[in-house]
Amino acid sequence: MTSEPPSPHSLMQKALSLAQQSPPKPTNYCVGAVLFNPSTNEIISTGYTLELPGNTHAEQCCIQKLAQQHNVPEEKIAEVLPPNVAIYTTMEPCNLRLSGNVTCVDRIIAARNIKRVYLGVKEPEKFVGENEGRKKLEQAGIECVHVPGLEEEILRVATAGHEK
């Protein structure tokens, strides 16, 4: 007997609880992400902003941790990622990194088997202006789905450490 799949809301709630572990900084958003395999109803990786060394984003940590688990370089993550994976992220994945790091949008597209991105809020325009991440993901054939209901809490957590 297979278990009931978790609801998008409960997986976004999990991502939000991860975001709360992110150290607040005035130059980052505290974001949480969950990689989910819908065919097995399993969370296969999680991440949050600054979880790993460097200026790391939540989606980046998710992907890098999974690559480490399978002992492959991040560039080969598609080889170990099950088909039709979804990523739940409290904030729209970044499409521009001022640090020069690879964007989360490009990491998701390169992973090839992430077919759906569930997002809690659009990225505020504070650091890089209008984020074109969702548009770029959709142009790459990746479905983007807004999970409503947690926006206020997501933004409160995301902007911890920012000047009010």
Question: What CA–CA distances, in Å, run from 27 to 15, 141, 151?
Answer: 20, 31, 20
d(CA 123, CA 127): 9
**Residues tagged active-site:** 59
Beta pairing partners, 35:
45, 87
Q: What's the token pair of residue 98?
A: 């001022």
Outline where DSSP puts E strands in the chain.
Answer: 32-37, 42-48, 85-91, 114-121, 143-146
| CA distances, 5 to each of 43, 74, 86, 145 (Å) | 11, 28, 13, 17
